[in-house]
Structure 1
Amino acid sequence: MDILNEEIMAVNVPGTTKEEAINTLANLLKKKNYISDVPSFEKDIYHRESLGQTGIGNFIAIPHGLSESALKNGVAIGKFSNEIPWETLDGKGVRIVCLFCVQAGDGREKEHLKMLAKLAGKLGNDEVVNNILKADTVHELKQAFA
């Protein structure tokens, strides 16, 4: 999938809360020049979180939202060491967080929906999810989506 970049993926990530998970991935996006400002980006993500749950079940969450601080589109993916409490469709916590970074502005919503659809299609496949949960390296994590 062309939206995946190993530079903004991580495995065995520490963290026990939704806030830690989002902050860790937002800082990774900042470090790799996907966003200009972590607090502003997080504010946009939490605004979207307030509109409805982003935990889709199967230990996966896909927090997302359009942000003025996004410099380019991408998806930071973290496989966390611990199960993190999250509002999910199946009532379980999450281990995989796919944090979407999408530029706000004219026509960007379509790009956002295309990215979500691509990833959601993969995450709806139990075999893909099992491979993601088994991944021990960033390369294995990316390959699980292939």
Structure 2
Amino acid sequence: MDISIENFLDEKIMGVDLEAETKDDAIQVLSKMLLNEGYINNIDDYKKDIYYRESLGTTGIGNYIAIPHGKSEGVYKNGIAIGKFKNEIPWETLDDKGVKIVCLFAVRDEEGGSDMHLKLLASIAGKLGNDNVVENLLNATSVIEMTNILS
């Protein structure tokens, strides 16, 4: 299976101009999208797994981007919910800035899940390591625009 980011972009679990004041608000907003589209079966269980991973080290990679992730038994279908938020959200980050773009991974906790998880992270990190891609994402005004930037 091809683990490139393009194969996991789903406009139904992406949004721009989203509202959140805190890290938890942002994760909740994106988790609801995942639940509504059948990617996860329970927000609370899923978030518990995300926060467990958060406790191991920051997922704020800098440049206003966070990539919270974790494997969870509550995930039905692997995917990445991507949100661009209206305001900067306080988050522990490598550059001590807040975040505006959150890429929330939903990865099934199953055999091979760790491999899938790492390959997906590597794929998105490769894209987000490009300053032009990040700048374009920060300026994106629609989900279609975000999809085109990441494809």
TM category, shorter: over 0.9
Q: What's the C-alpha RMSD, in Å, of the aligned pairs?
A: 0.5
Q: Matched residue pairs, number? A: 146
| 1-structure distance, mates of 2:41, 2:53 | 19
- Compute the displacement of 1:2 (Å): 1.1
Question: Which residue of 139, 147, 150 corresponds with 1:145?
Answer: 150
Alignment of 1:1-146 (within 5 A): 1-146=6-151
- TM-score for both structures, normalised by structure 2: 0.96
Structure 1 unaligned runs (5+)? none
Question: 1:135 corresponds to which letter in structure 2?
Answer: A
Segments of 4+ moved more than 2 angstroms: none
| 1-structure distance, mates of 2:124, 2:111 | 22
- TM-score for both structures, normalised by structure 1: 0.99
Aligned to 2:3: none
| 1:36-72 superposed Cα distances (whole Å, 9 cap, x missing partner) | 0000000000000000000000000000000000001
Percent identical among aligned pairs is: 55
- Compute the displacement of 1:144 (Å): 1.2
